[in-house]
Structure 1
């Protein structure tokens, strides 16, 4: 049993909770010790009214079992009325790593950015090929372990792709939200690729590329960086394409942001951050981009 200050106390014979790592809509995540094996793990303790049947994350993680770039679900348990998910423990999030580098007034090398993006894309490719997409990809949902291992985590918003899927506003954290989500249009796995482009840029900048304060401001921020969309790139707006007005900006090159980033890196970011979802590369296509040639 572990008391968490003013937090609720839990009686878990097998696990000793040591530190709260985070909190989400379904419950809290704690660092813990498995008293049987002595190993460190992460446990998501679910709220009392959560039904496992309403948690697609469990089914999806079970299908993603053993991929090296997707966090592993080790066990689902119920002890003394507490329902929990046991995950492998990772040292920190990519978001925390970016903050630490930014505060130290340093930058990531292109080698490090390449390695991070390669591993995230490997996980996305595996997920997408099995018919699922993440829908909330961001640095805080990418975990890092000692040795530089990168794993996609927090699949609570992940779902199976359906061609007639309607937009849900809360899906995807705003700064990583694709234009088709911001404009409440139909969307698909390409929203993960937009988020991947934003994450890649953030690794170079050590700060978010599009830090909007609302959906409207987010679109404005996007236009100021990549320029306003051409009419040919607005097919995803459907019948609203002619009536929807975007802020007018000429195309602005990423060269103004990071002069020392390679041409291949700029090219891949530009492709991932395409207004038209159909022009964004899939995860498999992105992995074959020249930027990743040193990885093979």
Structure 2
């Protein structure tokens, strides 16, 4: 695993376009120069100590790599892990995932009125829950489920993305209330209570409703406002 973490990304992947900018860095669409296939590069900045990368980060990446061998149809594949030292105190870890052209948010925006047929919603939800069950059975709480993290291929296959990354991002912190996007955040997270896998099920419910409505269910502009909208 340490050998994988030490690999340099430079020269192996050619960035093609910027996909998006998140709280933890920029995501790029890139070309694998060996296979010619497109991939998604997600950069994570990790604080290092005198012993290098924290053991917790190495464990989390090892877990993500282990899940790759199960080849679950509803989980985006982690294809490679590369690391490069930025400073004495920080290392950039780049996670290389298979690339899917659209997420659920984009998919829903393309749907003409009156919206998705019921059978299509049932099919998407079945795949969505199958992937989430797999994560939970492997002791992974996603913690940031939202339409942007649910990928939909051109043939309608659902793939969960960004699972486990919140734990890597916050590897030296306790579980924090800021990890889940506000509109899909469970009440126990908003109330800063203890939480586990049920927070993902709350997010599933919000996304399920959004498939019918084609707009978010609870659009709070602050944590307090979000709670008010939920209680209403």
Is the partner of 1:64 in helix, strand or coil? Answer: helix
Q: Which has the higher strand share?
A: 2
Is the partner of 1:75 in helix, strand or coil? Answer: strand
| Aligned-partner Cα distance in 1 for 2:55–2:30 | 25
Deviations 1:7-58 (A, max 9, x none): xxxx832222110012233332111111111111111234486747564652
Task: Give the structure with higher Rg (CA).
Answer: 1
- Please give the root-mean-square deviation of Cα atoms over the aligned residues, in Å: 2.4
Structure 2 residue aligned with 1:26, among 24, 27, 31? Answer: 24
Q: Is the 8 Å Cα contact of residues 167 and 184 (structure 1) preserved in structure 2?
A: no
Q: Is the 8 Å Cα contact of residues 93 and 142 (structure 1) preserved in structure 2?
A: yes
2:78 is the alignment partner of 1:70: no
| Aligned-partner Cα distance in 1 for 2:118–2:167 | 29
2:117 is the alignment partner of 1:109: yes
Structure 2 residue aligned with 1:141, among 139, 145, 149? Answer: 149
Deviations 1:253-294 (A, max 9, x none): xxxxxxxxxxxxxxxxxxxxxxxxxxxxxxxxxxxxxxxxxx
| Aligned-partner Cα distance in 2 for 1:54–1:158 | 9
With normalisation by structure 1, the TM-score equals 0.63
Q: Is the 8 Å Cα contact of residues 69 and 119 (structure 1) preserved in structure 2?
A: yes
| Aligned-partner Cα distance in 1 for 2:182–2:215 | 15
| Aligned-partner Cα distance in 2 for 1:77–1:131 | 24
Is the partner of 1:133 in helix, strand or coil? Answer: coil
Unaligned runs of 5+ in 2: 1-8, 87-91, 169-173
Shift of 1:77: 2.4
1:198 alignment partner in structure 2: 206
Structure 2 residue aligned with 1:179, among 187, 206, 217? Answer: 187
| Aligned-partner Cα distance in 1 for 2:34–2:94 | 16
Query: Aligned pair in 2 of structure 1 residues 170, 48: CA closer, same or farther (>3 Å)?
Result: closer
Query: Aligned pair in 2 of structure 1 residues 202, 77: CA closer, same or farther (>3 Å)?
Result: same
Q: Which runs of 4+ in 1 moved over 6 A?
A: 79-82
Structure 2 residue aligned with 1:89, among 99, 103, 116? Answer: 99
Deviations 1:120-144 (A, max 9, x none): 1111111111222111111111111
Q: Is the 8 Å Cα contact of residues 167 and 185 (structure 1) preserved in structure 2?
A: no
2:5 alignment partner in structure 1: none
**Number of positions where the alignment pairs a residue of Structure 1 with one of Structure 2:** 206
| Aligned-partner Cα distance in 1 for 2:20–2:54 | 20
With normalisation by structure 2, the TM-score equals 0.79
Structure 2 residue aligned with 1:40, among 38, 43, 54? Answer: 38
Is the partner of 1:192 in helix, strand or coil? Answer: helix
Higher RCO (CA-CA < 8 Å; seq separation 6+) = 2
Query: Aligned pair in 2 of structure 1 residues 217, 78: CA closer, same or farther (>3 Å)?
Result: closer
Shift of 1:207: 0.2
1:211 alignment partner in structure 2: 219
